[in-house]
């Protein structure tokens, strides 16, 4: 059965900051990394991870994006949109747009969609 980790599980794994929860999160993601277990990272969970890492834990954008990108490349990740999410994280790392705008841009490019936005910065990126 595929695991569907929530934001806290991913944060506990990435931060290793909770002695009661981090070991279980590490056990899960080490199995996912090796491909012994499957996991699906929802887009909404990824967005919340970026927000909490950057705003609450003050992790720099580049570091947050890099750590989440590595996670998305684990062998057991079964997302069908991994490439778009990784590209969105790369855009987030480089720019000043929020992660949702970066996902919109990435998905519009990959899916051949016409991005419709009033956000001038987002339109400039396109």
Cα 20 to Cα 22: distance, rounded to the nearest angstrom: 6
pTM summary value: 0.92
Q: CB-based contacts of 81: which residues, under 8 Å, 6+ apart?
A: 43, 107, 110
Digit-coded pLDDT (tens) for 65-76: 999 999 999 999
Digit-coded pLDDT (tens) for 30-58: 999 999 999 999 999 999 999 999 999 99
């Amino acid at each position: 059965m595929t695991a569907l980790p929530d934001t806290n599980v991913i944060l506990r794994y990435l931060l290793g900051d909770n002695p009661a929860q981090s070991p279980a999160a590490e056990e899960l993601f080490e199995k996912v990394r090796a491909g012994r277990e499957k996991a699906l990272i929802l887009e909404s969970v990824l967005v919340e991870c970026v927000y909490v890492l950057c705003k609450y834990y003050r992790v720099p954008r580049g570091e947050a994006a890099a750590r989440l990108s590595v996670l998305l490349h684990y062998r057991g990740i079964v997302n069908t949109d991994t490439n778009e999410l990784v590209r969105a994280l790369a855009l987030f790392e480089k720019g000043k747009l929020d992660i949702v705008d970066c996902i919109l841009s990435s998905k519009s490019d990959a899916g051949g969609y016409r991005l419709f936005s009033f956000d001038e910065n987002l339109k400039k990126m396109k």
